[in-house]
Structure 1
């Protein structure tokens, strides 16, 4: 590897570490949810609020991310974001109330804009032939962070139940969820320090008429003979996409972005931004133990199966990274959506075949384990329920909402007759499809299809669209699971994904091995 390529990979890797912090921040709540629910006696809507509060925070941050990155530069804004991640982790770990926890996680959501800024920075600093791989590194770090979160949660859960003296001394058994959400502190601090060693984006420097400084940065990632042409291309992109007057006006940039000239870009960006999230990916990732408990395997097994989702994500993200510049963005996206939709339908079918029946043997086991007063459960013995929704509704009527929330996973484990293997296969297939295709490809496309002068507005704008979709999916999932059942939830995700497939099949072009200027020539209406 020559020094130019090494430098480009080094800078991209440092910035992409923010994806690891994001993944860790986003997924540790999956293990903490059950403990937080018990400690603060949360309803389904409150659980959804706790999990989705970062998605609310990012809605406020994304419009400002573009403004600040244009005004202060990509590097300074990334440093500010890393600081916010660190503070959020500290405040979450020491939260003393539900509202305090929501506020701390909302603060962390302000830092989630790191995903759009990371793809922007990497796309601007990466040579075109490496852009797909380097931008996809952000997605790899996200899934590594997710996997690390599941592993950390499982490790903490095992230690909390070990009974070891040192575990009791540090309060891990009584504060399990605090150790889970606090696990982000160290990686957030490391990322913050490393960001001081990256250069500013050369595209931003050219945008600010600081071409001499841009040339100094480009010398680290290009041969000197290529630098004048690179700077000329950047200037041409800026000059041809928006007027000098418009450069200073955010409203003018947005009007330009949503003009008929860019209609094809807007359709592609909007569709993939929505399809990526309405697939339910963040439901599976952020509520993993909750979903796996529906399979009837108990809490420990649910946490272990969550690790499987993380490992699957890593394997297929790496595979996608290796193939994205060979296969191309379009086939990976189009057929990845088909794979995703079919996987979700497998999950929906598996849950539709489940049946739930409590027997006298189950009641005897529950009584022996002293889990809950079995007197109220006697009325359910021998009654068969054809869905998790119907079974939980019956539990609410007999033992109340609080006991149902606290003990439904144990009761499902005993009463459920379910194709756990089929559903697990469907979920892992879904994770593989997402991380091979629309997971990393969305950010690659975002780094490619927008012109330089509009990119700082366009990428946060469409990241805002995907964040709105993510927020709605995360927030309503606990309520949907209670009121609609797993079958309907997964089937609805599949339908939305297949709609995205149809739209992108007709609009998405191939962008591999093309410069940003060449992509614009194909997408922009003159």
Structure 2
């Protein structure tokens, strides 16, 4: 926030950052919960459609699994203007409510329409509608939570604090992998296909409630208060966060940054928008959510049973958390660019290894090691660091709109990966040649391109105030 950080109220700053990061926990929980239900959704809603071709069924399955991502696009586009109009806090409250409602209704899509399980394949339509609205909540939280953290964080610690969002995301994923595994252990495979998947999806209502309660107790950010002319509230909060001397300096910087430009999207040129969008696209095209959403399917493809596949998925989720924590302690020391380039190289090697292992029909231990290496590369770099950059790189006067566009691009790219993985992985002709390995070769190629892009076009923002970063994008 400012270079004057001697009197930072660490407890208050950390508390607010953790509260906002609960949106990230829900983001991770709700996006990954589907991993335990993929087989059940196919069993109940897709496989019975024998009148459809293999390609059509695979496409419908990919659409059903990924429908929440279109909601994420809508939510992220809505969140920027909404967070500007009614505030960051109000946006988090709306997201928490949508999370809660969609979790229950996705697990029991027949509620109010028919007896539970009584709609057959027709239950897919309300299921997809409720998952879409869950995606709206994810899209809103994915933008507002890191934005909130960046706007209350001192510049010196902003990289660390914004990584709280990614720690929360991967913690939510690990938590739901564990919850899915424990639910699956409550019954047979048949019980999971009929009932267990419903419990998995509905379980997200619990963390949604926690997020709502936390958001109720939090103030809005100083930058939003200034944007709305509530200077007294902004100054009072800045005094609490950073102390009086830093508060005055920060107020001057915020007011200056909001009046220097008209707020038109391209008032700082196109480069900042293009770099933000491409960071988002590459974060998805390296294949992370193909691994996170389809990890149980990936392990079943090499012969693991349900319990073993879910356990292996938990191990991958744990590696995700561990290496995200490593990023927390390196992002403000090593810088953004070195971490992104290193991570992209590690991911390229790991994805190439996964492709070869699948193609050669190797046993599961080597595949698990390669998956962990890939997750380590992503969690160390492209997972947390892209969110740090997106939260800090856009100038104040265009931040809401620009970040909304970048995050929407991220969710569209996520959908493309999620849908196409299912189509390619389920293609009998391709599997006769690659044995489920083709997707991983593609992701290895995009990882190489991602490293080159960062090296050539992404500026270093480590240690700079949000206002100073604006100078990097002056025409």
Q: TM-score, normalised by structure 1?
A: 0.81
Contact 1:346 1:422 in 2 (8 A): no
Q: CA deviation at 1:455?
A: 0.6
What are the superposed Cα offsets for residues 436-484 of structure 1, whole Å, 9 maximum, x if unpaired? Answer: 1010001100111111111111111100111110011111211110223
1:238-317 pair list within 5 angstroms: 238-240=258-260, 242-243=261-262, 247=263, 253-256=264-267, 261-317=268-324
Correspondence 1:206 to 2:215: no
Structure 1 range deviating more: 268-277 or 83-92: 268-277
Distance 2:207 2:302 in 1: 33
**What is aligned with 1:19?**
24
Correspondence 1:104 to 2:130: yes
Contact 2:265 2:401 in 1 (8 A): yes
Judging changes above 3 Å, is the alpha-carbon distance between structure 1 residues 352 and 122 closer, same or farther for their aligned structure 2 residues?
same
Contact 1:133 1:325 in 2 (8 A): yes
**What is aligned with 2:443?**
493
Which residue of 321, 331, 334 corresponds with 1:324? 331
What are the superposed Cα offsets for residues 21-53 of structure 1, whole Å, 9 maximum, x if unpaired? Answer: 111111111111112221223432222122111
Contact 1:20 1:141 in 2 (8 A): yes
Contact 2:184 2:192 in 1 (8 A): no
Contact 1:160 1:173 in 2 (8 A): no
Q: TM-score, normalised by structure 2?
A: 0.90
Q: CA deviation at 1:490?
A: 0.5
Correspondence 1:71 to 2:85: yes
Distance 1:64 1:263 in 2: 22
Contact 1:338 1:498 in 2 (8 A): yes
Structure 1 range deviating more: 41-50 or 200-209: 41-50
Q: CA deviation at 1:262?
A: 3.0
Correspondence 1:422 to 2:372: no
Distance 2:211 2:381 in 1: 27
Contact 1:172 1:179 in 2 (8 A): no
Distance 2:391 2:32 in 1: 25
Distance 2:208 2:187 in 1: 24
Contact 1:262 1:525 in 2 (8 A): yes
**What is aligned with 1:182?**
202
Q: CA deviation at 1:232?
A: 0.4
SS state at 2:11 partner: helix
**What is aligned with 2:173?**
146
Which residue of 230, 247, 253 corresponds with 1:233? 253
Q: CA deviation at 1:3?
A: 7.2
**What is aligned with 1:87?**
101
Which residue of 448, 452, 461 corresponds with 1:511? 461
Distance 1:201 1:94 in 2: 37
Judging changes above 3 Å, is the alpha-carbon distance between structure 1 residues 254 and 520 closer, same or farther for their aligned structure 2 residues?
closer
SS state at 1:194 partner: helix
Judging changes above 3 Å, is the alpha-carbon distance between structure 1 residues 330 and 172 closer, same or farther for their aligned structure 2 residues?
closer
In structure 2, the gaps of 5 or more residues are 1-5, 48-56, 111-122
Correspondence 1:455 to 2:404: no
**What is aligned with 1:431?**
375
Distance 2:328 2:444 in 1: 25
1:344-423 pair list within 5 angstroms: 344-354=351-361, 418-423=362-367
Distance 1:211 1:54 in 2: 38
**What is aligned with 2:474?**
525
SS state at 1:327 partner: coil
Q: CA deviation at 1:344?
A: 0.7
Distance 1:14 1:455 in 2: 21
Q: CA deviation at 1:268?
A: 2.5
In structure 1, the gaps of 5 or more residues are 164-170, 248-252, 355-417
Distance 1:503 1:32 in 2: 36
Judging changes above 3 Å, is the alpha-carbon distance between structure 1 residues 452 and 289 closer, same or farther for their aligned structure 2 residues?
same
Distance 2:104 2:173 in 1: 19
What are the superposed Cα offsets for residues 413-457 of structure 1, whole Å, 9 maximum, x if unpaired? Answer: xxxxx2422222111111111111010001100111111111111
Q: Could you say what the CA RMSD is over the residues aligned between the two structures, in angstroms?
A: 1.8
Judging changes above 3 Å, is the alpha-carbon distance between structure 1 residues 173 and 509 closer, same or farther for their aligned structure 2 residues?
closer
Distance 1:23 1:270 in 2: 21
Correspondence 1:55 to 2:69: yes
Q: CA deviation at 1:172?
A: 7.4
Distance 1:3 1:238 in 2: 24
Contact 1:353 1:419 in 2 (8 A): no
Which residue of 379, 400, 416 corresponds with 1:472? 416
Report the structure number with the largest CA radius of gyration: 1
**What is aligned with 1:404?**
none
Contact 2:284 2:413 in 1 (8 A): yes
Number of residue pairs aligned between Structure 1 and Structure 2? 442
